[in-house]
Structure 1
Amino acid sequence: MFLHSARHADGVIFLNDDGLTQAVQEAGAVELLLVRHGESEGNVAATEARLAGAEVIDVPARDADVNLSGTGQEQAKALGIALARIAQEFRPDAVVSSPYARARQTAEIAVEAAGWPAEVRTDERLRDRELGILDRLTRLGVEKRYPDEVERRSWLGKLYYRPPGGESWADVALRLRSVLNELNNLGNGHRVMLVCHDAVIMLFRYVLEGMSEQELLDLAADTAILNASITRYVRPSGAGPWTLESFNVADHLAEQGVEVTEHAGDTSVHPR
């Protein structure tokens, strides 16, 4: 009987001529740490613009080049001090960051503070969602300049709305699925830390836990991913589904007297 193979998140699935399936599990990573970058100059500028009733966010650089704020640097160092407490045999053997400056700086500062020998690598699939024509605009700015987009976004909801020139959350989820597929092929026993962005962490949860659209949007409406927070998934066998062990933990910042900051995106996420 001739077998055709296709990739699946949990291994290789073989489809035979009768439509039957046989799964062959592959060894992959056993632990996944998801870290949001520390507070950025863009986070601060967006909050100031919103409070001032401005239409445009006065960011100092393009999104990929926005640096950590002073507070963000302190958060990254505190994160590293907390990571240093992890026993050597349980430390991540790979640290991969979004190439955006705020994430890369968080990873580099944290790894140095932790005293880890790990090299920080970057992967563009971990970058923040691209906003297209809505980039640098506050919610007020979008309402004033692109009312048709506000209506379209309200109709479609956050998961499927794609601004012209930008990405939907579903687009981001697609690139994250390929990242997770690679984690399934690393070989058993690997532990990985990914440093990325708030929407990316939300969408990792969506993919890893098989959430519905409603479950994802309910979570996004009520939860802000804290700067320099840690979310942890485990699967001791190195195969199959992941288990969420902790989510959005930033206790390590408060313990060290570092400000805990909450810079959430637009919480109007459900279709109407």
Structure 2
Amino acid sequence: MLESLTMVRHGESAGNAALAEAITAGAEESGPGLRDSDIPLSDLGRAQAGAVGKWLARQWDSVDAVLCSPYVRALETAEIALRAGRAPAVRVDERLRDREQGLLGGLTELGVQRRYPAEAAARELMGRFYYRPPGGEAWTDVALRLRTLLPELEGHVLVFAHDLVIVMVRYILDDLDESTILKIESNQLANASISRWERDHSGLRLLKYNDVGHLQ
């Protein structure tokens, strides 16, 4: 039985930084020219991962398993955060990978509107929750793979993953509906933020979400 689940979003990546710069510049494309799975942390992201490690240093006695997305930015966050601890070996699980963007990968919102107006219109019609870009995934696809993973978890589990993965875990564990999770997601999950659920007499209870107090 899952007793607690602590989820850490990876630190700022080179892709996060490039996207912010592209939006500011009014560009249609963003990204460091790498596969999404190969994008590393930025200098800030590495510092954030170190701050996560200091917080985790007080939690080692209650960690039975550590899982991580196979993407470089998540793996680097885990490696840095776990350097000084006594946590179990990291287990990579592909079900924790980031949402696949397909045809729209590497584009800013402006780029999507200009290059693929039909897809932009389809997304508007279907809504972000159900829209699946060509070659990519809908939010519901991410939820489906997580629904196969969560029942396998036992004890006190630590996970390093991505923003939408953590959002959809909350959707599942807190038994939310589409409109509620969209409202929650509108406040973007911060890089290196911590979210945690613990079991009590009524089940798994959310204790903290998108917490960045350790980064201050």
Normalising TM by the smaller chain, what interval? Answer: over 0.9
Distance 1:246 1:74 in 2: 22
Which residue of 1 is the match for residue 3 of structure 2? Answer: 30
Distance 1:215 1:163 in 2: 22
Which residue of 2 is the match for residue 69 of structure 1? Answer: 42
Distance 1:60 1:80 in 2: 29
Q: Does 1:172 align with 2:172?
A: no
TM-score scaled by length of structure 1: 0.77
Distance 1:197 1:78 in 2: 17
Contact 1:98–1:196 (CA under 8 A) maintained in structure 2: yes
Distance 1:81 1:181 in 2: 29
Which residue of 2 is the match for residue 140 of structure 1? Answer: 110
Q: Does 1:94 align with 2:65?
A: yes
**For 1:144-223, what aligned pairs fall within 5 Å after superposition?**
144-183=114-153, 186=154, 190-221=155-186, 223=187
Q: Does 1:246 align with 2:208?
A: yes
1:132-171 per-residue CA deviation (whole Å, 9 max, x = no partner) reads 0000000000000000011100111111000000000000
Letter paired with 2:165: V
Question: Which 4+ stretches in 1 moved above 4 angstroms?
Answer: none
Contact 1:39–1:227 (CA under 8 A) maintained in structure 2: yes
Q: Does 1:106 align with 2:70?
A: no
1:235 aligns with one of 173, 192, 199: 199
RMSD between superposed Cα atoms in Å: 1.2
Instruction: Give the C-alpha shift of residue 89 in structure 1.
Output: 3.3
Unpaired segments of 5 or more residues in structure 2?
none
Instruction: Give the C-alpha shift of residue 117 in structure 1.
Output: 4.1
Residues paired across the two proteins, number: 216
Instruction: Quote the sequence identity (%).
Output: 49
**For 1:20-59, what aligned pairs fall within 5 Å after superposition?**
28-59=1-32
